[in-house]
Amino acid sequence: MLESKEELTRERIDALRVELKPKELGLQIVHLNFVVGASFLLALFYFLSRNIAGNNAPVPLLFLIVAAFTVVPSFIVPVLVRSMRPSPDERTASQLATAYQVSHIIGCAMLETGIIFSAFAFLFNLVKEVPQWFIFVPVFLILVLLLRFPLPGKLTDWVIEQLESRRP
C-alpha cells in the first residue's frame, strides 16, 4: 500500500486499482446482502399481513416518519465518518479504503433500518389497517438503496482522489 508521503505515478495508481479490487468486491457483496435481506423481509411481511386495507385507510404516521427520517442521515453520516480522524493526510491507501467501506456500510444499515421499520407496519397489531399504497414507501427506500450500489472503481477512485488531494 502507498504510504502518505509517496508520489502517485501511473504505475502506482494501476497497482492500487489491483490491490483494492477485493475490497470493492467485498463491499458490493455486503451491499447486495442489504438489498436482498430487506427485500425478502418486505415481501414476507407484506404477504403474511392480514391488515392491508383499501387506499382510504389511515396512514401509519409513525412508520412513515421513521422511514423518511432515515434517508437524509444515510447520506450525511457516511461523509462524516469518512472525514473522521486520522486526517486523510496521515492515512495510507488501505486505511482510506477501510474508512470508505465502513462509512458505506453504515449508510446502508441506516437506510435498511427505514426499510425494515416501514415493512413492520404490515405486521404490527397497533396499526389496525395499512393502506395498499403504503407498500411504495419501503419499495422506494429499496430503490434508493439500489441506487447507492458501489459501482466498480468507485472505492478506488475515491482513495486515489484522497491520496492526490494531499500532494504538494
For the chain, give the mean pLDDT: 83
Judge whether residue 48 has pLDDT over 60. yes
- Is residue 125 predicted with pLDDT exceeding 70? no
Nearest to 108 by CA among 25, 26, 34: 34
pLDDT at 4: 44
Mean pLDDT of 116-127: 77
Q: pTM of the full predicted structure? A: 0.81
pLDDT, tens digit, 9 for 90 and up, residues 62-91: 888 888 888 889 999 898 888 875 565 666
